[in-house]
Amino acid sequence: MFINTYKANNGQMIHTLLAFVTKIPIGIIFVFHLLEIINPSGKTINERRQNRRNALVVLTLLTPIIAGLVVNKEGSFFNPKSWIRRRRVGEIRDYL
């Protein structure tokens, strides 16, 4: 990850360090809230509902920011645009 970030910033070390200062915390926050949606913490149903709602709001705001910061949007596994481009909606019914 460091080498790819360094190459994307044209070999400028200060920009690479600034990118890492933002990438690591944003990634940790994203994963933490993603897990909070899947398995919310709390003792009561209302606490779990509130925690899930808060995590969903954070992910709703954070996901477009992360998508905008991605330099190379090409890929095969983690790129939903390539999934949509290659498959038709009608073919999904064949696999149900």
pTM over 0.75: no
E strand or H helix at 44 = none
What phi and psi values does residue 10 have, to the nearest 5 degrees? 55, 35
Which pLDDT score, from 0 to 100, does residue 96 have?
47
Q: Is 41 left (phi over 0), alpha (psi -120 to 50) or beta?
A: beta
Q: Count other Cβ atoms within 10 Å, centred on residue 88.
A: 7
pLDDT in tens, 4-49: 888 888 888 998 999 888 888 998 999 999 999 999 998 999 999 9
Range of the domain at 81: 2-95
Overall domain count for the chain: 1
pLDDT in tens, 38-92: 999 989 999 999 999 999 999 999 988 887 777 666 655 566 666 566 555 555 5
54 compared with 94, residue with greater pLDDT: 54
